[in-house]
Amino acid sequence: MVNGKIGYAVIGYGGMGSWHTRKIKDEMGEYAELVGIYDIDPERGKAAEENGIHAFATREELLCDERIDLVTVATPNDYHKEIVIDALEHGKNAISEKPVAMNSGELEEMIAAAKRCGKLFTVHQNRRWDEDYLTMKKILDENTLGPVFRIESRVQGSRGVPGDWRNQPEHGGGMVLDWGIHLLDQALMMTLPRKLKTVYAELTNVTNENCDDGFRTTLIFDDGLSFYVEVTTSNFIELPLWYMLGENGSAVITGWDCSGEIVMVSDWENRDAVPIVAGAGITKTMAPRTDDTIKRYPLPVQKADWGEYYKNVFAHLRGEADIIVTHNQQRRLMKLVEAVFESGKTNKVVEFEDIDV
Protein backbone atom coordinates (compact mmCIF):
# COMPACT_ATOMS: atom_id res chain seq x y z
CA MET A 1 0.00 0.00 0.00
CA VAL A 2 1.09 3.59 -0.58
CA ASN A 3 -0.53 6.29 1.56
CA GLY A 4 -3.50 3.99 2.20
CA LYS A 5 -3.94 3.34 -1.51
CA ILE A 6 -3.32 0.25 -3.64
CA GLY A 7 0.33 0.21 -4.77
CA TYR A 8 0.22 -0.39 -8.52
CA ALA A 9 2.79 -1.40 -11.14
CA VAL A 10 2.90 -2.42 -14.79
CA ILE A 11 5.18 -4.98 -16.46
CA GLY A 12 5.59 -4.29 -20.18
CA TYR A 13 5.61 -0.57 -20.91
CA GLY A 14 4.62 -0.59 -24.57
CA GLY A 15 1.47 0.76 -26.17
CA MET A 16 -0.96 -0.80 -23.73
CA GLY A 17 1.25 -0.75 -20.62
CA SER A 18 1.78 2.99 -20.96
CA TRP A 19 -1.99 3.41 -21.46
CA HIS A 20 -2.62 1.62 -18.14
CA THR A 21 -0.15 3.89 -16.33
CA ARG A 22 -1.77 7.03 -17.77
CA LYS A 23 -5.26 5.86 -16.86
CA ILE A 24 -4.24 4.95 -13.29
CA LYS A 25 -2.45 8.27 -12.79
CA ASP A 26 -5.15 10.42 -14.41
CA GLU A 27 -8.35 8.65 -13.39
CA MET A 28 -7.73 6.29 -10.48
CA GLY A 29 -5.66 8.49 -8.15
CA GLU A 30 -8.33 8.18 -5.48
CA TYR A 31 -7.75 4.43 -5.20
CA ALA A 32 -4.26 3.61 -6.43
CA GLU A 33 -0.75 4.96 -6.58
CA LEU A 34 1.51 4.12 -9.52
CA VAL A 35 4.80 2.86 -8.01
CA GLY A 36 6.60 2.06 -11.26
CA ILE A 37 7.05 -0.16 -14.29
CA TYR A 38 9.43 -2.76 -15.64
CA ASP A 39 10.12 -3.36 -19.32
CA ILE A 40 12.68 -5.77 -20.72
CA ASP A 41 13.69 -3.11 -23.25
CA PRO A 42 15.82 -0.42 -21.51
CA GLU A 43 14.61 2.15 -24.05
CA ARG A 44 11.06 1.68 -22.74
CA GLY A 45 12.39 2.12 -19.20
CA LYS A 46 13.93 5.42 -20.30
CA ALA A 47 10.65 6.46 -21.91
CA ALA A 48 8.88 5.78 -18.60
CA GLU A 49 11.42 7.86 -16.65
CA GLU A 50 10.93 10.68 -19.15
CA ASN A 51 7.23 10.46 -18.37
CA GLY A 52 7.96 10.78 -14.66
CA ILE A 53 7.43 7.08 -13.88
CA HIS A 54 9.99 5.04 -11.96
CA ALA A 55 11.45 2.23 -14.07
CA PHE A 56 12.63 -0.78 -12.06
CA ALA A 57 15.91 -2.31 -13.28
CA THR A 58 14.62 -5.89 -13.11
CA ARG A 59 11.31 -7.71 -12.80
CA GLU A 60 12.53 -9.26 -9.55
CA GLU A 61 13.20 -5.83 -8.08
CA LEU A 62 9.67 -4.69 -8.96
CA LEU A 63 8.06 -7.86 -7.61
CA CYS A 64 10.02 -7.61 -4.33
CA ASP A 65 8.86 -4.03 -3.69
CA GLU A 66 6.57 -4.30 -0.70
CA ARG A 67 4.57 -1.21 -1.61
CA ILE A 68 3.18 -2.95 -4.69
CA ASP A 69 -0.13 -4.82 -4.26
CA LEU A 70 -1.31 -5.11 -7.86
CA VAL A 71 0.55 -5.70 -11.12
CA THR A 72 -0.82 -5.44 -14.65
CA VAL A 73 1.03 -7.59 -17.18
CA ALA A 74 1.03 -5.92 -20.61
CA THR A 75 3.72 -7.83 -22.47
CA PRO A 76 3.28 -9.85 -25.70
CA ASN A 77 0.89 -12.74 -25.14
CA ASP A 78 3.43 -15.53 -24.72
CA TYR A 79 4.82 -13.94 -21.53
CA HIS A 80 1.50 -13.51 -19.71
CA LYS A 81 1.56 -16.90 -18.00
CA GLU A 82 5.15 -16.75 -16.79
CA ILE A 83 4.93 -13.19 -15.46
CA VAL A 84 1.47 -13.53 -13.88
CA ILE A 85 2.58 -16.67 -12.01
CA ASP A 86 5.82 -14.95 -10.93
CA ALA A 87 3.81 -11.97 -9.64
CA LEU A 88 1.36 -14.20 -7.76
CA GLU A 89 4.22 -16.16 -6.21
CA HIS A 90 5.72 -12.88 -5.00
CA GLY A 91 2.45 -12.20 -3.17
CA LYS A 92 1.06 -9.71 -5.71
CA ASN A 93 -2.43 -9.57 -7.18
CA ALA A 94 -2.27 -9.79 -10.95
CA ILE A 95 -4.18 -8.53 -13.97
CA SER A 96 -3.25 -10.07 -17.29
CA GLU A 97 -3.83 -8.23 -20.52
CA LYS A 98 -5.96 -10.11 -22.99
CA PRO A 99 -5.67 -12.77 -24.29
CA VAL A 100 -5.13 -14.21 -20.84
CA ALA A 101 -2.76 -16.88 -22.19
CA MET A 102 -1.78 -18.82 -25.30
CA ASN A 103 -4.18 -21.69 -24.54
CA SER A 104 -6.40 -23.35 -21.90
CA GLY A 105 -3.51 -25.34 -20.44
CA GLU A 106 -1.61 -22.14 -19.60
CA LEU A 107 -4.77 -20.60 -18.16
CA GLU A 108 -5.21 -23.57 -15.81
CA GLU A 109 -1.64 -23.13 -14.54
CA MET A 110 -2.37 -19.46 -13.83
CA ILE A 111 -5.63 -20.24 -12.01
CA ALA A 112 -3.88 -22.91 -9.93
CA ALA A 113 -1.15 -20.41 -8.99
CA ALA A 114 -3.74 -17.82 -7.92
CA LYS A 115 -5.46 -20.41 -5.73
CA ARG A 116 -2.15 -21.62 -4.26
CA CYS A 117 -1.03 -18.07 -3.49
CA GLY A 118 -4.44 -16.81 -2.34
CA LYS A 119 -4.21 -13.77 -4.63
CA LEU A 120 -6.46 -12.16 -7.21
CA PHE A 121 -5.84 -13.05 -10.83
CA THR A 122 -8.10 -11.50 -13.44
CA VAL A 123 -8.01 -10.31 -17.04
CA HIS A 124 -8.37 -6.91 -18.69
CA GLN A 125 -11.50 -7.56 -20.78
CA ASN A 126 -12.03 -3.82 -21.16
CA ARG A 127 -14.33 -4.11 -24.15
CA ARG A 128 -17.16 -5.20 -21.89
CA TRP A 129 -17.48 -1.44 -21.38
CA ASP A 130 -17.73 -0.59 -25.09
CA GLU A 131 -20.83 1.52 -25.69
CA ASP A 132 -21.71 -0.16 -29.01
CA TYR A 133 -21.64 -3.59 -27.33
CA LEU A 134 -23.69 -2.43 -24.33
CA THR A 135 -26.24 -0.80 -26.65
CA MET A 136 -26.76 -4.04 -28.58
CA LYS A 137 -26.84 -6.00 -25.33
CA LYS A 138 -29.62 -3.74 -24.05
CA ILE A 139 -31.68 -4.29 -27.20
CA LEU A 140 -31.25 -8.05 -26.80
CA ASP A 141 -31.91 -8.07 -23.02
CA GLU A 142 -35.08 -6.00 -23.39
CA ASN A 143 -36.41 -8.11 -26.23
CA THR A 144 -36.95 -4.90 -28.21
CA LEU A 145 -36.92 -6.70 -31.59
CA GLY A 146 -38.91 -9.73 -30.43
CA PRO A 147 -37.12 -13.09 -30.54
CA VAL A 148 -33.66 -12.48 -31.98
CA PHE A 149 -32.40 -15.08 -34.44
CA ARG A 150 -29.22 -13.48 -35.81
CA ILE A 151 -26.51 -11.16 -34.50
CA GLU A 152 -23.49 -10.01 -36.51
CA SER A 153 -20.47 -8.34 -34.91
CA ARG A 154 -17.56 -7.05 -36.97
CA VAL A 155 -14.37 -5.07 -36.77
CA GLN A 156 -12.69 -4.37 -40.06
CA GLY A 157 -9.35 -2.83 -40.89
CA SER A 158 -7.32 -2.46 -44.06
CA ARG A 159 -3.70 -2.49 -42.87
CA GLY A 160 -3.02 -6.19 -42.38
CA VAL A 161 -1.55 -7.45 -39.11
CA PRO A 162 0.99 -5.09 -37.48
CA GLY A 163 4.57 -6.11 -38.32
CA ASP A 164 5.76 -6.66 -34.73
CA TRP A 165 5.14 -9.69 -32.46
CA ARG A 166 1.51 -9.58 -33.57
CA ASN A 167 2.38 -11.49 -36.73
CA GLN A 168 4.50 -14.13 -34.99
CA PRO A 169 2.68 -17.28 -33.82
CA GLU A 170 5.26 -18.02 -31.11
CA HIS A 171 4.31 -14.71 -29.42
CA GLY A 172 0.57 -15.35 -29.76
CA GLY A 173 0.14 -13.25 -32.88
CA GLY A 174 -2.85 -13.24 -35.19
CA MET A 175 -6.24 -11.65 -35.09
CA VAL A 176 -8.15 -14.41 -33.26
CA LEU A 177 -6.06 -13.74 -30.15
CA ASP A 178 -5.98 -9.98 -30.76
CA TRP A 179 -9.34 -8.45 -31.66
CA GLY A 180 -11.07 -11.82 -31.77
CA ILE A 181 -10.71 -12.35 -28.04
CA HIS A 182 -12.67 -9.14 -27.40
CA LEU A 183 -15.51 -9.88 -29.81
CA LEU A 184 -15.79 -13.53 -28.74
CA ASP A 185 -15.89 -12.46 -25.09
CA GLN A 186 -18.66 -9.99 -25.93
CA ALA A 187 -20.59 -12.69 -27.83
CA LEU A 188 -20.40 -15.10 -24.89
CA MET A 189 -21.30 -12.51 -22.26
CA MET A 190 -24.07 -10.87 -24.25
CA THR A 191 -25.97 -14.07 -24.91
CA LEU A 192 -25.99 -15.48 -21.36
CA PRO A 193 -27.66 -17.62 -20.10
CA ARG A 194 -27.76 -19.38 -23.47
CA LYS A 195 -25.39 -22.29 -23.95
CA LEU A 196 -23.12 -22.46 -26.98
CA LYS A 197 -23.69 -25.60 -29.08
CA THR A 198 -21.51 -25.39 -32.21
CA VAL A 199 -18.71 -23.35 -33.73
CA TYR A 200 -17.74 -23.01 -37.38
CA ALA A 201 -14.83 -20.79 -38.40
CA GLU A 202 -12.70 -19.71 -41.33
CA LEU A 203 -9.24 -18.28 -40.69
CA THR A 204 -7.78 -15.92 -43.28
CA ASN A 205 -4.23 -15.31 -44.47
CA VAL A 206 -4.75 -12.60 -47.06
CA THR A 207 -1.83 -10.38 -46.10
CA ASN A 208 0.16 -12.58 -43.78
CA GLU A 209 1.40 -16.17 -44.02
CA ASN A 210 2.64 -16.64 -40.45
CA CYS A 211 -0.61 -16.42 -38.55
CA ASP A 212 -4.23 -15.55 -39.18
CA ASP A 213 -4.86 -11.97 -40.28
CA GLY A 214 -8.59 -12.35 -39.66
CA PHE A 215 -11.37 -14.84 -39.18
CA ARG A 216 -15.09 -15.38 -39.56
CA THR A 217 -17.03 -17.59 -37.20
CA THR A 218 -20.63 -18.62 -36.67
CA LEU A 219 -21.68 -19.59 -33.16
CA ILE A 220 -24.97 -21.44 -32.73
CA PHE A 221 -26.61 -21.27 -29.30
CA ASP A 222 -29.10 -23.68 -27.72
CA ASP A 223 -32.15 -21.55 -28.64
CA GLY A 224 -31.05 -21.48 -32.30
CA LEU A 225 -29.55 -17.97 -32.13
CA SER A 226 -26.86 -17.60 -34.80
CA PHE A 227 -24.07 -15.21 -33.78
CA TYR A 228 -21.59 -14.27 -36.50
CA VAL A 229 -18.24 -12.70 -35.55
CA GLU A 230 -15.83 -11.29 -38.13
CA VAL A 231 -12.41 -9.68 -37.77
CA THR A 232 -10.62 -8.67 -40.96
CA THR A 233 -7.57 -6.60 -41.82
CA SER A 234 -8.00 -6.21 -45.57
CA ASN A 235 -11.39 -4.53 -45.94
CA PHE A 236 -11.39 -1.22 -47.77
CA ILE A 237 -15.17 -0.87 -47.46
CA GLU A 238 -16.52 -1.48 -43.97
CA LEU A 239 -19.79 -3.17 -43.09
CA PRO A 240 -21.67 -2.16 -39.91
CA LEU A 241 -20.10 -2.96 -36.54
CA TRP A 242 -23.33 -4.60 -35.38
CA TYR A 243 -26.41 -5.96 -37.10
CA MET A 244 -29.21 -7.68 -35.17
CA LEU A 245 -32.30 -9.36 -36.58
CA GLY A 246 -35.41 -10.12 -34.54
CA GLU A 247 -38.82 -11.36 -35.62
CA ASN A 248 -40.32 -7.87 -35.27
CA GLY A 249 -37.45 -5.63 -36.28
CA SER A 250 -33.78 -5.05 -37.01
CA ALA A 251 -31.07 -2.94 -35.40
CA VAL A 252 -27.80 -1.68 -36.81
CA ILE A 253 -24.76 0.15 -35.43
CA THR A 254 -22.67 1.52 -38.26
CA GLY A 255 -19.70 3.03 -36.42
CA TRP A 256 -17.82 3.52 -33.13
CA ASP A 257 -19.89 6.64 -32.42
CA CYS A 258 -22.93 4.34 -32.08
CA SER A 259 -24.65 5.79 -35.12
CA GLY A 260 -27.39 3.54 -36.40
CA GLU A 261 -31.07 2.84 -35.87
CA ILE A 262 -33.79 0.38 -35.05
CA VAL A 263 -36.48 -0.38 -37.63
CA MET A 264 -39.60 -2.17 -36.37
CA VAL A 265 -42.48 -3.56 -38.37
CA SER A 266 -45.66 -1.76 -37.32
CA ASP A 267 -48.11 -3.67 -39.50
CA TRP A 268 -46.95 -7.21 -40.30
CA GLU A 269 -50.25 -8.14 -41.99
CA ASN A 270 -49.91 -5.29 -44.44
CA ARG A 271 -47.18 -6.88 -46.53
CA ASP A 272 -48.51 -6.70 -50.03
CA ALA A 273 -46.21 -4.74 -52.29
CA VAL A 274 -46.02 -3.26 -55.74
CA PRO A 275 -43.33 -5.18 -57.65
CA ILE A 276 -40.07 -3.34 -58.16
CA VAL A 277 -37.56 -3.82 -60.93
CA ALA A 278 -34.55 -5.65 -59.51
CA GLY A 279 -31.70 -6.25 -61.94
CA ALA A 280 -32.96 -8.20 -64.91
CA GLY A 281 -36.32 -9.02 -63.30
CA ILE A 282 -39.01 -7.85 -60.92
CA THR A 283 -39.77 -8.77 -57.31
CA LYS A 284 -42.47 -8.24 -54.72
CA THR A 285 -40.73 -10.31 -52.03
CA MET A 286 -37.72 -7.99 -51.89
CA ALA A 287 -39.54 -4.70 -52.49
CA PRO A 288 -38.68 -2.19 -49.73
CA ARG A 289 -41.37 -1.66 -47.10
CA THR A 290 -43.46 1.47 -47.29
CA ASP A 291 -43.25 3.95 -44.41
CA ASP A 292 -46.78 3.16 -43.21
CA THR A 293 -45.80 -0.39 -42.20
CA ILE A 294 -42.53 0.31 -40.36
CA LYS A 295 -41.35 2.64 -37.60
CA ARG A 296 -37.82 3.94 -37.13
CA TYR A 297 -36.36 4.50 -33.66
CA PRO A 298 -33.07 5.86 -32.37
CA LEU A 299 -30.76 3.39 -30.66
CA PRO A 300 -30.89 3.27 -26.85
CA VAL A 301 -27.22 4.32 -26.73
CA GLN A 302 -25.62 3.18 -23.47
CA LYS A 303 -23.06 5.32 -21.75
CA ALA A 304 -20.23 3.43 -20.10
CA ASP A 305 -17.14 4.21 -18.11
CA TRP A 306 -14.16 1.94 -18.69
CA GLY A 307 -12.86 2.99 -15.24
CA GLU A 308 -15.49 0.65 -13.78
CA TYR A 309 -13.09 -2.16 -14.66
CA TYR A 310 -10.39 -0.96 -12.26
CA LYS A 311 -12.93 0.27 -9.70
CA ASN A 312 -14.25 -3.30 -9.54
CA VAL A 313 -10.74 -4.71 -9.05
CA PHE A 314 -10.02 -2.21 -6.26
CA ALA A 315 -13.40 -2.86 -4.57
CA HIS A 316 -12.71 -6.60 -4.78
CA LEU A 317 -9.31 -6.14 -3.15
CA ARG A 318 -11.04 -4.22 -0.33
CA GLY A 319 -13.41 -7.18 0.06
CA GLU A 320 -16.40 -5.15 -1.12
CA ALA A 321 -17.28 -6.68 -4.50
CA ASP A 322 -17.21 -9.87 -6.51
CA ILE A 323 -14.77 -9.71 -9.39
CA ILE A 324 -16.46 -9.06 -12.74
CA VAL A 325 -14.04 -10.95 -15.01
CA THR A 326 -13.97 -14.47 -13.56
CA HIS A 327 -11.86 -17.58 -14.10
CA ASN A 328 -14.75 -19.62 -15.50
CA GLN A 329 -15.59 -16.90 -18.03
CA GLN A 330 -11.94 -17.06 -19.14
CA ARG A 331 -12.02 -20.85 -19.32
CA ARG A 332 -15.09 -20.66 -21.56
CA LEU A 333 -13.51 -17.97 -23.72
CA MET A 334 -10.24 -19.89 -24.22
CA LYS A 335 -12.24 -23.02 -25.06
CA LEU A 336 -14.07 -21.02 -27.70
CA VAL A 337 -10.79 -19.65 -29.11
CA GLU A 338 -9.53 -23.23 -29.38
CA ALA A 339 -12.76 -24.30 -31.12
CA VAL A 340 -12.34 -21.42 -33.61
CA PHE A 341 -8.78 -22.57 -34.41
CA GLU A 342 -9.86 -26.21 -34.66
CA SER A 343 -12.76 -25.44 -36.98
CA GLY A 344 -10.64 -23.05 -39.04
CA LYS A 345 -7.96 -25.69 -39.53
CA THR A 346 -10.24 -28.69 -40.18
CA ASN A 347 -13.00 -26.84 -42.04
CA LYS A 348 -15.51 -28.71 -39.83
CA VAL A 349 -18.22 -27.68 -37.38
CA VAL A 350 -16.98 -28.18 -33.81
CA GLU A 351 -19.41 -29.35 -31.10
CA PHE A 352 -18.93 -27.12 -28.05
CA GLU A 353 -19.23 -28.59 -24.56
CA ASP A 354 -20.29 -25.47 -22.74
CA ILE A 355 -19.57 -24.81 -19.07
CA ASP A 356 -21.36 -22.76 -16.40
CA VAL A 357 -19.91 -19.34 -15.68
Ligand X SMILES: NC(=O)c1ccc[n+]([C@@H]2O[C@H](COP(=O)([O-])OP(=O)(O)OC[C@H]3O[C@@H](n4cnc5c(N)ncnc54)[C@H](O)[C@@H]3O)[C@@H](O)[C@H]2O)c1
Whether the CA torsion 45, 47, 48, 52 is positive or negative: it is positive
CB of 293 to ligand X, least distance (A): 42
Q: If residue 218 lies in a helix (H) or strand (E), which one and from where to where?
A: strand 214-221
Which segment (49-57, 69-77, 202-210, 337-345) binds ligand X by CB under 6 A?
A: 69-77
Binding mask 130-169 for ligand X (x = CB under 6 A): ----------------------------------x-----
- Residue from 5, 76, 248, 338 that binds ligand X (CB under 6 A)? 76
- Determine the residue type at 255: G
- Does residue 79 touch ligand X according to CB under 6 A? yes
Which segment (74-82, 130-138, 187-195, 293-301) binds ligand X by CB under 6 A?
A: 74-82
- Residue from 9, 10, 17, 185 that binds ligand X (CB under 6 A)? 17
**Alpha-helical regions (H) of the chain:** 15-27, 42-50, 59-63, 80-89, 104-117, 131-141, 181-190, 308-317, 327-346
Nearer to ligand X, 44 or 332 (CB): 44
Separation CA 346–CA 348 (nearest Å): 5
CB of 32 to ligand X, least distance (A): 18
Contacts of 96 (CB under 8 A, 6+ apart): 72, 73, 80, 84, 110, 121, 122, 123, 124
Nearer to ligand X, 25 or 289 (CB): 25
Binding mask 242-261 for ligand X (x = CB under 6 A): --------------------
- Determine the residue type at 65: D
Alpha-carbon distances of 12 from 49, 245, 309, rounded to whole Å: 14, 42, 20
Nearer to ligand X, 113 or 244 (CB): 113
- Does residue 92 touch ligand X according to CB under 6 A? no
Which residues contribute to the site for ligand X (CB under 6 A)? 11-17, 38-41, 44, 74-77, 79, 97-98, 124, 126, 164, 178
